[in-house]
């Protein structure tokens, strides 16, 4: 990708990398989302959960990866059900994919029935007030597009209590109830041995069995790996699709999806005893060489990844080697200690890797003091965005190394024509 600095024009033609670097010349960072990796992750989860249906949770702009691009790619790969958080998110997804079922997880708001009908998507009803209002809307308009019932099995966030759910069973038995899914959500699915898993499973299983003929869903990404009893008729993975480890107590079975590179603005030498960055919290203990890169906390690289004289911060890959952050991460810039690199290995204009090439979302989350989910949903809006793959049907007669997605024509546009232009900074 744009990381390779050795862009030497050959026989009058620029290399693909040179073309891309030229197209991206104005961007401080380049974010690449590998749609093929998302598809491979979805297929792996689908296989693990078979015979249950595998949906895809694409709320929060598909965890920062781009809801429209992800929905299109996964729909082509065979995914038929999507979950978003809000009706506004559903609207964007519906514009990208006309066919599949879309559920809205985040609660049914007052007077919004028409919006669900307009784009044919389904609310996840999590409260008796919501259910009553939804019923009124459906009766008044004749809308029969379906809704899910969310049952609380221990999260105490959204969902009908078990008693409330019990009370609507007669309606299910009466038929023509408009309930297309019954679901609950796990509290601590990523902890294999947490007894709350079995407790929630037992509670949900007994109530779901009374919703006769209604498909049931309990498992998020991690829940899928708790085993077949948790998988029911449909599973709802989110984070694992985007490369977050759903089994943090074991190796990550998912492929990495996001690659983030930043440009070296300049390199500079610092004398021993000099401090670097805001607050002067990091002191050079030897004659030091720094690379200053054009990404900062405003781009979603958390300030918590800073280093100081007491603590090491995060690492960045420069010229193939891991190098530590030097001093505080600032809004738009970070200093990297590249003293240990061979002379001239890193130069102005070269790209360094912040995420990818072995730096995982979970590793960054550790340095940021958070979870992979927040790393992804915080990814900045100033990057040039590149989408790789996602075509599902193989393009004809293309050399294996020359996917069109990776090689925009020269000069710009930055992305392949099927994708929207990079977000303005």
Distance CA 165, CA 168 (A): 5
- 125-128-133 Cα angle (round to 5): 75
Contact status: 57 vs ligand PLP (CB under 6 A) = yes
Which of the 8 DSSP states describes residue 212? T
Window 133-162: residues binding ligand PLP (CB under 6 A): none
Which helix (DSSP H) or strand (DSSP E) does residue 32 occupy? Answer: strand 29-34
Of these residues, 59, 261, 289, 388, which one is catalytic? 59
Give burial (CB, 10 Å; 0-12/13-18/19+) of 116.
buried
Q: How many CB atoms lie within 10 A of CB 137?
A: 18
Window 169-198: residues binding ligand PLP (CB under 6 A): 185
383 is catalytic: no
Chain residue at closest Cβ approach to ligand PLP? 238
Q: Lay out the site mask for ligand PLP across 89-128 (x = CB under 6 A, - = otherwise).
A: ----------------x-----------------------
Rounded to 10 degrees, the C-alpha dihedral 204/210/214/220 comes to 0
- Match 């100033």 to its residue by tokens: 382
Q: Lay out the site mask for ligand PLP across 223-242 (x = CB under 6 A, - = otherwise).
A: -------------xxxxx--
Those residues with Cβ within 8 angstroms of residue 17's Cβ, 6 or more apart along the chain or in another chain: 1, 2, 4, 7
Q: What's the min distance (Å) between Cβ of 84 and ligand PLP? A: 10
Contact status: 81 vs ligand PLP (CB under 6 A) = no
Q: What's the min distance (Å) between Cβ of 167 and ligand PLP? A: 22
59 is catalytic: yes
Give the CA count within 13 Å in the CB-facing half-sphere of 333: 12
Residue among 221, 306, 353, 391 that touches ligand PLP (CB under 6 A) = 221
Contact status: 215 vs ligand PLP (CB under 6 A) = no
Q: Report the residue number, 238 or 422, with the smaller CB distance to ligand PLP.
A: 238
Residue among 220, 288, 307, 308 that touches ligand PLP (CB under 6 A) = 220
Give burial (CB, 10 Å; 0-12/13-18/19+) of 127.
middle
Q: Lay out the site mask for ligand PLP across 12-51 (x = CB under 6 A, - = otherwise).
A: ----------------------------------------
Give the catalytic positions in this structure: 59, 278
Query: In the complex, which residues of this chain contact ligand PLP (CB under 6 A)?
Result: 57, 59, 105, 185, 220-221, 236-240
């Amino acid at each position: 990708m744009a990381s390779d600095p050795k862009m030497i024009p050959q026989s009058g033609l620029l290399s693909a990398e040179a073309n891309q670097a030229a197209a991206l010349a104005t961007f401080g960072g380049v974010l690449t989302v590998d749609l093929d990796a998302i598809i491979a992750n979805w297929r792996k989860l689908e296989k693990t959960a078979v015979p249950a249906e595998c949906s895809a949770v694409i709320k929060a702009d598909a965890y920062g990866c781009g809801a429209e691009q992800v929905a299109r790619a996964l729909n082509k790969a065979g995914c038929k059900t999507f979950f978003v958080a809000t009706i506004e998110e559903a609207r964007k997804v519906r514009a990208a994919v006309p066919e599949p079922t879309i559920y809205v997880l985040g609660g049914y708001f007052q007077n919004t029935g028409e919006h669900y009908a307009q784009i044919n998507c389904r609310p996840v009803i999590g409260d008796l007030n919501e259910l009553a209002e939804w019923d009124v809307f459906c009766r008044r308009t004749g809308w029969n597009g379906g809704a899910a019932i969310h049952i609380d099995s221990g999260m105490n966030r959204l969902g009908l209590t078990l008693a409330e759910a019990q009370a609507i069973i007669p309606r299910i038995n009466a038929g023509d109830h408009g309930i297309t899914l019954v679901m609950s959500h796990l509290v601590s699915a990523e902890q294999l041995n947490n007894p709350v898993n079995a407790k929630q499973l037992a509670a949900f299983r007994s109530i779901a069995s009374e919703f006769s003929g209604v498909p049931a869903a309990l498992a998020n990404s991690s829940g899928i790996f708790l085993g077949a009893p948790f998988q029911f008729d449909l599973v709802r993975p989110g984070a694992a699709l985007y490369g977050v480890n759903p089994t943090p107590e074991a190796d990550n079975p998912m492929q990495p999806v996001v690659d983030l590179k930043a440009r070296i603005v300049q390199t500079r030498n610092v004398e021993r005893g000099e401090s670097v960055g805001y607050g002067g919290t990091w002191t050079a203990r030897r004659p030091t060489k720094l690379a200053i890169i054009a990404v900062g906390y405003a781009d979603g690289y958390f300030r918590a990844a800073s280093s100081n004289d007491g603590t090491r911060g995060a690492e960045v890959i420069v010229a193939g080697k891991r190098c530590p952050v030097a001093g505080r991460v600032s809004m738009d810039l970070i200093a990297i200690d590249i003293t240990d690199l061979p002379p001239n290995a890193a130069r102005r204009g070269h790209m360094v890797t912040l995420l990818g090439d072995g730096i995982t979302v979970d590793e960054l989350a550790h340095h940021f003091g958070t979870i992979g989910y927040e790393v992804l949903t915080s990814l900045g809006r100033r990057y040039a965005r590149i989408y790789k793959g996602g075509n599902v049907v193989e393009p004809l007669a293309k050399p294996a190394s020359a996917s069109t997605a990776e090689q925009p024509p020269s000069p710009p546009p930055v992305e392949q024509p099927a994708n929207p232009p990079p977000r303005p900074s």
